[in-house]
Structure 1
Amino acid sequence: MPEDYTSLAEFRAAAKHAITNYGAIQSYMLVLPADFPGVTGLTFYDTNSFCIYCPRANLEPNMNHAIAVVGWDDEYPVPAAPAPGAWLIKESLGTNVYDGGYHWISYEDKTFLQGCDIFYAVRAASGAGYQWPGLLTHPGTLTRLGMMSTDFLAAGASMWGEDSRGYAWFHAATAGDLKAIGLVTVNRNEEVAIGIYSGVDAELNPTGLLGSKQVALDERGYHLVDLDSPVAIGAGTDFVVSLTFAYRDQADPLVYCTDPNRPPADTYVITYVATNPAPSWTAMPDIVEDSSVFLQAVFADP
């Protein structure tokens, strides 16, 4: 998000760095009906330069379409824009739109990568070999973002000056190798300890460590974290995936979902109360109705 950076130029540099490192980033743009062939009306798409330049900042809240940003050209000429430069966009609408499914958006566009805009980079070490969606506590944030009533909020122990801890139970209907964990960060520069356990004790503390991973997550967004080595899970086995966010003086880091149309997953967070010096594990629905800690356990291809 731009507020994470000292200037729009620094924000753009971060976006370019993410494209270079990960191949593409996801963000959102304004699509108008007249952008499509054969439709008349308002459009900011120039068919000669294959570029969109919208000078109207008031339209930023109307961004309605997720796209992949796959490149840029600092010197790309943009008709009517006050300066050159544009982002290269790959469309999901097919090859019959824009320039064979690709187009440009001007750096000077007042709706794109401006103001409160965001971009995501999905990170995975191997990039292949996943049985998607694997096991989920909830639909992925990127798969249906903006198309459902679900809210993604955050809980934790930051106000107590303590690490924030949460976990989710999973059930493996068939045997397989647990290969990666999916999670979302709402803060930058998080240090996260991931643990895989066989169960919990009487106080609901995870026990029976099967695997672990320490990871530093520099950016906000969705992260797919490969485990250092797969964890074999037997058929019919229940297991626990835990997250521990190291305490930092910032917003609570444990992302949870609320959806009244779906039964909550079996997830827990560590909680503190002023009347009890010892923390305890509390089921998320007992804290926020219809809520689940967001966690994904992703298995390798069988």
Structure 2
Amino acid sequence: MRAARIGLPRAAACMLAAFALAAALHPAHAFAEPTVGLSSKTPLGEVVQTGRGPVFSLYDTSLLNAGSGVSRYTALPERFDLRDVDGASFVTGVKNQGPYGVCWAFGALSSLESGLIASEHAASDVDLSERHLVWYTYNGADDSEDASLWAGGDTYVSDDPYNIGGNRWKSGSTLMRWYGTVDETRAPFDGEQQMEALDPDLRTESFLHVQNVVYLPEPNEYVRKEDGTLEYRHDADAVDGVKAFLMDNGVLSVGYHSDDAQASLSGARSDYWNPDENAYCCTKADVEAAAFANHEVSIVGWNDAFAKERFSTPPADDGAWIVKNSWGTDFGDEGYFYLSYYDTSFSQPTFFEAEDADYRGAETEHVYESIYQYDGAGFGDVMYGSNTQMWFANVFAARDYETVRAVSTIVNEAGSQVDIAVHKNPAGLAPTGELDPRSGEQMWSMSETIGYAGQLTFDLGDDAFEVAPGDTFSVVSTIGYPDGKFQLSAEIEDESVGGVDLACEPGQSFCADTATGGEEYWYDPASGAMDGDGLHMGNALLKAYATASSAPVDPNPDPAPQPDPGDSGDSGLQPLPDADEPQADALQAKRTALAPTGDSAAVPLAATGALAAAAAAGLAVGAMRSRRSR
């Protein structure tokens, strides 16, 4: 079994201190309305229409390239290929997306499948359903009575899910929601026939839980200037960071711009595509990479010695990524091609990491058995930052006797300062008359600088705690960017963009902002108090994960009642356990996937399994020990 890979130590103290006022569980609005809304916040980019659908394009891609946390070696091998690592392969087979615009799902699941193989949690023939991921990304709304189970009515929307396209924010938020991971046989992809809708009963089926979606450094740094022009720089350190991460963990999903010659499969040559060498290099640098990218693929390795002369338009230097496409084995070199390190459209390299569990289809024993969430669409289609510090919280009601073991959030920028705390039974009032989610007993906190951006899970370790029906608990967070600004950690619905439906109900999420009174002044976004012109704030981007525990045992049970001598019957009723008594230590034995591993600013996802062997060997010749056969 692999070791924990994103784990953060518990901080001795957290800036989100517990704060108790008069007890009230769900008070009405009473004190003041905020004077600053979403319209005062700063967008981090804009939504652009691309060949793979609407994509959020950052104004500054260097935000993903914090130097700390990026795995580096003194010497990376000149060539590395996950298809042949000392005779073993960590790559699943080439698939064919047919005529559909679903490359984004093939890229994401190719990465997820590879990570399972590399960590020795699945055999090399693991095959997850792209169709399931696509359909329920755009049909995610769930009408369960408990809105915290499947994130209620949140969903991306489209009349044509198989052709509108997608990106890592959509695939990531769906997978982190615990949708979109079933066997191919459960929802088979058919590129030859017209695919129809899937049964709504399949929506919440998830044979595997995704635990982290990691946004890697961008080799192409584009910075949008105030005059609208772009400043471009190639970041060689980011190239090395992506290489090292791939070697440690497995296949990475990535976007790039595919031109008509390559996409036609006709053998035609263009300024970018050389079919004779299966070599591609886009050189256009006046459009930001993510905005220009129209296709998502997966990279399985690299070759530093791939000569620049093999490209139609020679780039600045030698070197190319080895790329697995989703156009079948008739394309390129049995489905593969080479993409130059200097391709200016290369963007959004991403790793999709599953839970630390052996994949056994529907019988997989999950690390976390229960999820608490209100956000089902991540940020939606837009992301905002703030010049003033903001705090966000979700309050959940315990469904059963459980142990709360982990939390997750989305972090937009590498190198961000992330502060999270968990409180049990918050009941105090904020001066606004709303619930103060920081009241009650603080059970856990962390305060860390995060090396990578992404959708990340943090385990509570020894501070995992039990809850019972009737208990509530809150997850509270504030995230500061390296440039001194702060993250707006909530779903946002932009009327001018559309494409997402959000369902935010009173009493679920809370927000505080120094612009509206500070961290003591909490507002409920469901009231519209924090909205701006055409912008609506939804739920906070905070989830919690739990495992089952036992009901409490009454240490002094009442003696069994004696039947009345005149009563010949027995009701058979047994006394209920006293839920007010302390719970006994009767937790089910469970593995913890994300135990603390030290300073997250310096420790990336740890190398695991056979891939770890390569790192330990110093990568002198790029050889790795093969994993055990399965």
Q: Structures share a fold, TM > 0.5?
A: yes
CA contact (8 A) 1:37 1:97 kept: no
Counterpart CA distance in 1 for 2:401 and 2:530 is 33
Q: Unaligned regions of 5+ residues in structure 2, if any?
A: 1-60, 67-232, 359-365, 431-435, 494-499, 549-589, 591-630
CA contact (8 A) 2:370 2:547 kept: no
Are 1:295 and 2:542 matched, yes or no?
yes
Counterpart CA distance in 1 for 2:321 and 2:370 is 30
Alignment of 1:18-167 (within 5 A): 18-32=245-259, 35=262, 44-57=272-285, 60=289, 61-77=291-307, 78-80=310-312, 81-82=314-315, 83-91=317-325, 97-112=331-346, 117-121=347-351, 126=356, 129-130=366-367, 134-139=371-376, 141=378, 150-155=381-386, 157-158=388-389, 164-167=390-393
* Length-normalised TM-score, structure 2: 0.39
Counterpart CA distance in 1 for 2:418 and 2:280 is 40
CA contact (8 A) 1:156 1:271 kept: no
Quote how far apart the aligned CAs of 1:156 are: 7.2
Quote how far apart the aligned CAs of 1:40 are: 7.5
Q: Which residue identity is paired with 2:282?
A: C
Quote how far apart the aligned CAs of 1:56 are: 3.5
Which residue of 263, 267, 282 maps to 2:503?
263
Counterpart CA distance in 2 for 1:13 and 1:241 is 36
Q: Unaligned regions of 5+ residues in structure 1, if any?
A: 159-163
Which residue of 249, 252, 256 maps to 2:486?
252
Quote how far apart the aligned CAs of 1:195 are: 2.0
Q: Which residue identity is paired with 1:137?
A: Y
More strand by share: 1
Counterpart CA distance in 1 for 2:383 and 2:261 is 33
Counterpart CA distance in 2 for 1:18 and 1:133 is 30
Measured on the aligned residues, the alpha-carbon RMSD in Å equals 3.9
Counterpart CA distance in 2 for 1:246 and 1:232 is 30
Counterpart CA distance in 2 for 1:40 and 1:88 is 19
Aligned length: 286
Secondary structure in 2 aligned to 1:245? strand
Greater displacement, 45-54 / 123-132: 123-132
Alignment of 1:208-287 (within 5 A): 208-229=441-462, 230-234=464-468, 238-245=472-479, 250-259=484-493, 261-264=501-504, 266-273=508-515, 279-284=520-525, 285-287=528-530
Q: Which residue identity is paired with 1:228?
A: G
Cα gap change, 1:86/1:171 in structure 2, threshold over 3 Å: closer, same or farther?
farther
Q: Which has the higher contact order (CA 8 A, sep 6+)?
A: 2
Quote how far apart the aligned CAs of 1:85 are: 0.6
Secondary structure in 2 aligned to 1:108? coil
Counterpart CA distance in 2 for 1:7 and 1:37 is 29
Counterpart CA distance in 2 for 1:23 and 1:264 is 37
* Length-normalised TM-score, structure 1: 0.73
Secondary structure in 2 aligned to 1:49? coil
CA contact (8 A) 1:175 1:235 kept: yes
Counterpart CA distance in 2 for 1:238 and 1:95 is 53
Q: Which residue identity is paired with 1:189?
A: G
Q: Which residue identity is paired with 1:244?
A: T
Cα gap change, 1:231/1:110 in structure 2, threshold over 3 Å: closer, same or farther?
same
Quote how far apart the aligned CAs of 1:238 are: 3.7
CA contact (8 A) 2:257 2:282 kept: no
Q: Which residue identity is paired with 1:294?
A: L
Are 1:192 and 2:385 matched, yes or no?
no
Quote how far apart the aligned CAs of 1:25 are: 3.8
